[in-house]
Amino acid sequence: MSAPLHRSAAASSLRTLAALAAILFLAAPCARAVIVRGTVTDPLGAAVAGARVQLIQGKSAIAASLTGLDGSFEIRSTAPGRFLLLTSARTFTPNIGQDFYGGRTDVVTRNVTLEIASVTTAVTVTATGIPTPIQQVSSPVTLIPQSDLVTQVGIVDDLRQSPGAAAVQTGQYGGATSLFVRGGNSTANKVLIDGIPAEDVGGVFDFGNVSSTGLTGFEFYRGPNSVLYGSDAGASVVSLNSPRGNSLRPALNYSGDAGNFHTYRNEAALSGAWNRLDYYGAFSRFDSSNALPLDRFHSATSVANLGFNITANTQARFTLRNAVSASGLPSAHDFYGISSDGKQGDQDIYSGLTLENRALQSKWHNLVRYGIARKREQEHQFTNVGEPITYDFGGGDVFTEYFGNNVTIRGANGYTATGQASFFLPNEDSASNRDELYYQSDYAFTHHLTALFGFRYENERGSFVEPDFGEDEITKRTNYQYTLQFQGDIKSRLFYSLGGAIEKNHLYGVAGTPRIGLSYVPVRSGNGWFKGTKLRANVATGVQEPNLAIEFQSLYKQLELAGNTSAIAQYHITPVGAERSRTYDIGIDQNILSEKLILKAGYFHNIFDHQLEGVQSGALTQYFGLPPSVVSGLFSAYLNSLAFRAQGLETELQYQPTRHIFLRGGYTYLDAVVIQSFSGDAIAANTGNPTENPNLPGIAIGAESPLIGARPFRRPPHTGFFTAQYTTSKFSAALKGALASRSDDSTYLDGFDPNFGNSLILPNRDLDFGYAKLDANFLFAATNHVTIFSQFGNLLSQQHIGPIGYPGLPFTFRTGLKIRIGGN
């Protein structure tokens, strides 16, 4: 009897255990906690042991952990919701991470990089496509924080707060603004807004009407990076991003100000986070009459950024930026003495939908983004202004031209010219549309090796209408790009990034763009003198595609439109090729004193070749062997025949003597020279018949383009900047300066004076004036919710901040209030 009793008892026990297991199994999902794991490292990737990591929800720390010897931590919470991590360790600056959502059954990986207490805290995405501490990056990157834009209308002045950059604005508020980086063309900059390419088809981008509304600051990468960003990243990448909501209570921010020249601005932003959703929306309107007649400017900007956590590790995000602006077109007022009566209108929309996932404890990251850019621009002249002069060539051929007042033009080089300049102001209407699909997958095989694969598809459409010359052109381009990149480190001392891309461009075919970057840290950062040295080296290439106007003025396209396909076949004439760039730079980042005094210095050497330039019909016959019958009827055609070299030295110094005072300054020397050109000016100078001003005999002048051996236009050889900031909890003040030497340029007035001569062109060398633009701002926190601020621009009231002929804004001021309601 005992055996059956034992078997019955055993069976009963097994049933009991099975029931308990089932109960525990069914109850487990309800009892599971949010698990947050990660690793804490220093900027060079070394583990930080003993760091305190707190999990914050709302205003309270609900759990905490100390990191182990390998820097790892794990925190659990039974309450789902939105969290952030507060991390601290001895000798490091406390780190407040980006907020995130965690569900009851989620395992979330959040790695933390702690900065040594220093003048900089920075992570860049633009340099490598993956969030990377700037101390590990081999390429020069400048990060402009949101705090620098808090009193600004736009971003032009802060673009100048970087080595190697020359921002040239043709006019005042709203004036077209081009960016020249390290001697490159203004079309060689890739501009990203929330990851979406924002430049026109062909690289043109106007920074003059970009509002500071809805920006978290921006990243400025100097050097080619077509490996990650494809065409147009030939000299730099500028990445603008909109903020994300993070407060659990909705926060409403309002800013309003007014100033001289009938200037006023209003801005409102609403942001917050709730459960799985974070949201941000903003709108601003800016108006100014400017200091010139017929030069009123206004702009309106709308921004939206919505994020939704499908799971803790999978997020969908929608972004939208809509900018509408209109400005007068007074033209080069100093050349005419009067303003032209015109208007330029811009309507720009950038929008994207991104899906992002992190798996395998965040080792595997996948991102897919669909983005659109819709850009419209209209230039329209309402009425003719100036003195009309009518020419009768006989046979009913009558032509009327309008001229400005009799003025004396004086260049920075001391040369002068007196006369009346002709208004040459065509009406134009252009559109530039782009749809892009981008996929990126990166995987961290080990802590020391990460691989990235990227695929980009672009569908570009554009139109260019110039009714005065009968131009009505439409283009479509379909481009593909494949990218493979590896990055990592060896013993947290030697950091590497190497990769390449192959692009299939609709116009110029297949192009490869390799890139290699290395940085080495022989001395780690620390307290004391010269504790912290980074050596860096970078080699990269870039490609560009032409804009719409140049595409249709190329030799191939003009012959094709004329139906001369036989000449195209006989002389093997092809569409325009890729404009190419190559750079190598070396540099050093030296911590001089306890991360409070830091010096950065570097040398760069760039070659920009296969650049497009207009070649006149005579040169097409003489130098390219095309018979006159082929080029008859062509005034000029664009070819990949221009090349120039740009080398120089960049330096930057940062100093924070106390926690309230921050000083920063930099200087760049640029030696740029044209080494090949077949433009009309270059050919005329080469044959001994250069273009000259008849009143200045013997001086060769590039009326439309620089001569061989001369500098490219509008690129000053000496530029500099500085910032001095004083900050307390209640008050802050800043003085900023941007300095530039004289630069080469042209008046572009040849052939338009009443005698059809060249009496209004001046020698190119040092034609544009140098300048020192000084700005200041002040903020005072009257209460926790109200801040009073003032912004003062151009304290010295210098006129010649832009190119010759375009007077800059004199001294300006704006003052106003910032009000915050709600929020944490």
Q: What is the pLDDT of residues 522-546, one digit of tens each?
A: 999 888 899 999 999 999 999 999 9
- Going from the C-alpha of 660 to that of each of 90, 656, 721, the distances in angstroms are 21, 8, 21
Tens-place pLDDT, residues 313-361 = 999 999 999 999 999 999 999 999 999 999 999 999 999 999 999 998 8
Tens-place pLDDT, residues 280-295 = 999 999 999 999 999 9
**Average pLDDT of span 28-56:** 83
* CATH number of 123-240, picked from 3.90.1300.10, 3.90.45.10, 3.40.50.2300, 2.170.130.10: 2.170.130.10
Contact 231, 579 (CB under 8 A): no
Task: Check whether 80 has a pLDDT greater than 90.
Answer: no
The structure tokens listed for 13 are 């026990």
**Average pLDDT of span 515-526:** 94
Burial of 34 (0-12, 13-18, 19+ CB in 10 A): buried
Task: Check whether 378 has a pLDDT greater than 50.
Answer: yes
30 φ/ψ angles, rounded to the nearest 5 degrees = -75, -25
Contact 225, 794 (CB under 8 A): no
Closest to 207 measured CA to CA, from 216, 198, 197, 195 = 198
Cα gap 610→698, rounded to integer Å: 31
Provide CB contacts within 8 A for 665, sequence distance 6+. 652, 653, 720, 721, 722, 723
Cα gap 24→693, rounded to integer Å: 94
| Fold held by 251-524+532-624+643-822 | Maltoporin; Chain A (2.40.170)
Which pTM was predicted?
A: 0.92
DSSP one-letter code for 91: T
Q: What is the pLDDT of residue 689?
A: 86
Tens-place pLDDT, residues 82-125 = 998 999 998 888 888 888 998 888 899 999 998 876 555 567 88
Strands of 13-153, DSSP E = 34-41, 52-57, 60-66, 72-77, 81-88, 92-93, 95-96, 100-102, 107-109, 112-113, 115-116, 123-124, 132-133, 141-145
Q: What is the pLDDT of residue 26?
A: 40
**Average pLDDT of span 641-650:** 97
Q: What is the pLDDT of residue 17?
A: 43
Q: Helix, strand or coil for residue 795?
A: coil
Cα gap 177→654, rounded to integer Å: 28
What are the structural domain ranges in the chain? Answer: 16-116, 123-240, 251-524+532-624+643-822
Contact 226, 543 (CB under 8 A): yes
Contact 44, 116 (CB under 8 A): no
Q: Helix, strand or coil for residue 629?
A: helix
Cα gap 719→710, rounded to integer Å: 18
Contact 201, 434 (CB under 8 A): yes
Cα gap 721→181, rounded to integer Å: 15
Burial of 3 (0-12, 13-18, 19+ CB in 10 A): exposed
**Average pLDDT of span 251-275:** 97
Contact 271, 303 (CB under 8 A): no
Closest to 92 measured CA to CA, from 111, 114, 113, 123 = 114
Cα gap 237→101, rounded to integer Å: 31
Q: What is the pLDDT of residue 79?
A: 84
Cα gap 740→680, rounded to integer Å: 30
Tokens 């490219």 identify what position? 712
Number of C-beta neighbours around residue 157 at 10 A = 21
| Percent of the chain whose predicted confidence (pLDDT) is above 70 | 94
- Average the pLDDT over each of 388-397, 412-421, 473-482, 760-769 and give the range with the smallest value: 388-397
Task: Check whether 569 has a pLDDT greater than 80.
Answer: yes
Q: What is the pLDDT of residue 28?
A: 42
**Average pLDDT of span 46-65:** 90
Higher pLDDT, 758 or 30: 758
Q: What is the pLDDT of residue 671?
A: 98
**Average pLDDT of span 230-239:** 95
What CATH homologous superfamily does 16-116 map to?
Answer: Carboxypeptidase-like, regulatory domain (2.60.40.1120)
Q: What is the pLDDT of residue 466?
A: 83
Average pLDDT, the chain: 91
Tokens 């260049």 identify what position? 411
- Going from the C-alpha of 235 to that of each of 219, 331, 389, 475, 605, the distances in angstroms are 14, 28, 44, 25, 12
Number of C-beta neighbours around residue 25 at 10 A = 9
Cα gap 495→518, rounded to integer Å: 6
Q: What is the pLDDT of residue 117?
A: 63
Q: Helix, strand or coil for residue 408?
A: strand
Contact 801, 327 (CB under 8 A): no
Q: What is the pLDDT of residue 818?
A: 97
Q: What is the pLDDT of residue 410?
A: 96
Q: What is the pLDDT of residue 118?
A: 57
Cα gap 55→62, rounded to integer Å: 6
Top-confidence range, 256-260, 358-362, 394-398, 625-629: 256-260
Task: Check whether 127 has a pLDDT greater than 90.
Answer: no
Closest to 547 measured CA to CA, from 185, 262, 299, 236 = 185
Q: What is the pLDDT of residue 200?
A: 94
Q: What is the pLDDT of residue 121?
A: 52
Cα gap 620→628, rounded to integer Å: 9
The structure tokens listed for 264 are 């006023």
Distance in Å from the first CA to the final CA of the chain: 73
Question: How far, rounded to the nearest angstrom, does the alpha carbon of residue 345 sit from its chain's CA centroid?
Answer: 22
Task: Check whether 8 has a pLDDT greater than 80.
Answer: no
Higher pLDDT, 117 or 22: 117
| Percent of the chain whose predicted confidence (pLDDT) is above 90 | 72
- Which residues are registered as beta bridge partners of 301? 284, 323
Contact 36, 108 (CB under 8 A): yes
Q: Helix, strand or coil for residue 636?
A: strand
**Average pLDDT of span 748-759:** 67
Please count the residues of the chain: 824
**Burial 79-93, CB ≥16 within 10 A → b, else e:** ebbbbebbbebeebe
- Average the pLDDT over each of 55-59, 600-604, 716-720 and give the range with the smallest value: 55-59
Contact 356, 365 (CB under 8 A): yes
**Average pLDDT of span 680-701:** 89
